[in-house]
């Protein structure tokens, strides 16, 4: 049976579960004390996360469990291939519609955020549309990196709703990377900063990841907000 990507994703999760368990366990009695129970629970979490990322937050859990049970017990499928293909196609279409609606909501929220943030007196807007606010200033004679330098930075990145998606501060270890090896908004901001500066930088989506999301935690076309501290320049021309 030829399945679309969503169906294949769900099917792969089921196949993995079959490979990790000898028989189905009643979820109501699982105590998660054994490694196989814990691994099975983890697979279930991954499946649930994948479904939510597809916008499928109203999956019928009972029917899902029945399908898993039939697969694990190698029972005859209760639906034929044609019925499953049609069901998956409808599900995919609905998921795509929801994702399109979400993208529109994200785009409007981002537009509003950029406009409101740009009106703040403390915010500077560059020609590219990058926005930054100086939280702490470096010494006047402190160095600024060039595009060919490697820098060490402490940072925390979040969406406009405050959701943190990456943080060297939380990890307790700053990041080191070439200035030219990061998103365009960072490349611009870093070359404007001096060692010792702490800025809050707001990056429009076209200077970040645009429509291509690098992670499920960052929706397409997201404006990204970073608290950044330039700690050092580690190599210079």
Question: Which residue among the candidates 41, 70, 183, 206 is catalytic per the annotation?
Answer: 183
Q: Domain containing 151: what range?
A: 123-235
Query: Is 166 annotated in the active site?
Result: yes
Query: Is 149 annotated in the active site?
Result: no
pLDDT at site 29: 53
pLDDT at site 88: 86
pLDDT at site 13: 45
Whether residues 155 and 228 fall in one domain? yes
179 domain residue, yes or no: yes
pLDDT at site 17: 42
pLDDT at site 54: 67
Query: Is 177 annotated in the active site?
Result: no
Query: Is 183 annotated in the active site?
Result: yes
Question: Which residue among the candidates 10, 209, 227, 233 is catalytic per the annotation?
Answer: 209
Whether residues 213 and 168 fall in one domain? yes
Question: Which residue among the candidates 59, 165, 177, 206 is catalytic per the annotation?
Answer: 165
Query: Is 165 annotated in the active site?
Result: yes
Question: Which residue among the candidates 43, 88, 155, 227 is catalytic per the annotation?
Answer: 155
pLDDT at site 30: 62
Whether residues 140 and 228 fall in one domain? yes
Give the helix/strand (H/E) hosting 124: strand 123-125
Whether residues 70 and 151 fall in one domain? no
What are the residue ranges in the chain where pLDDT is below 50?
A: 1-25, 236-237
pLDDT at site 5: 45
pLDDT at site 3: 41
CATH of the domain at 141: 3.10.50.40
Question: Which residue among the candidates 149, 166, 197, 227 is catalytic per the annotation?
Answer: 166
17 domain residue, yes or no: yes
């Amino acid at each position: 049976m030829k399945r679309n990507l969503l169906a294949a994703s769900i099917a792969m999760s089921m196949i993995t579960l079959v490979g990790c368990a000898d028989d189905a366990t009643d979820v109501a009695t699982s105590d998660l004390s054994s490694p196989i129970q814990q691994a099975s629970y983890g697979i279930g979490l991954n499946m649930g996360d994948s479904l939510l990322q597809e916008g499928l937050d109203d999956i019928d859990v009972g029917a899902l469990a029945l399908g898993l049970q039939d697969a694990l017990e190698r029972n005859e499928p209760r639906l034929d291939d044609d019925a499953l293909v049609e069901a998956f196609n409808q599900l995919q279409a609905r998921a795509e519609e929801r994702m399109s609606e979400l993208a529109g909501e994200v785009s409007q929220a981002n537009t509003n955020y950029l406009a409101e943030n740009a009106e703040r007196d403390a915010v500077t807007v560059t020609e590219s549309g990058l926005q930054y606010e100086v939280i702490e200033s470096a010494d006047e004679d402190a160095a600024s990196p060039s595009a060919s330098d490697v820098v060490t930075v402490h940072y925390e990145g979040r969406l406009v709703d405050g959701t943190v998606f990456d943080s060297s501060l939380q990890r307790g270890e700053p990041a080191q990377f070439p200035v030219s090896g990061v998103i365009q908004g960072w490349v611009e901001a870093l070359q404007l900063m001096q060692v010792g500066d702490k800025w809050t930088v707001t990056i429009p989506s076209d200077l970040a990841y645009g429509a291509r999301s690098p992670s499920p935690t960052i929706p397409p076309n997201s404006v990204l907000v970073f608290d950044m501290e330039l700690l050092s320049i580690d190599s210079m021309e």
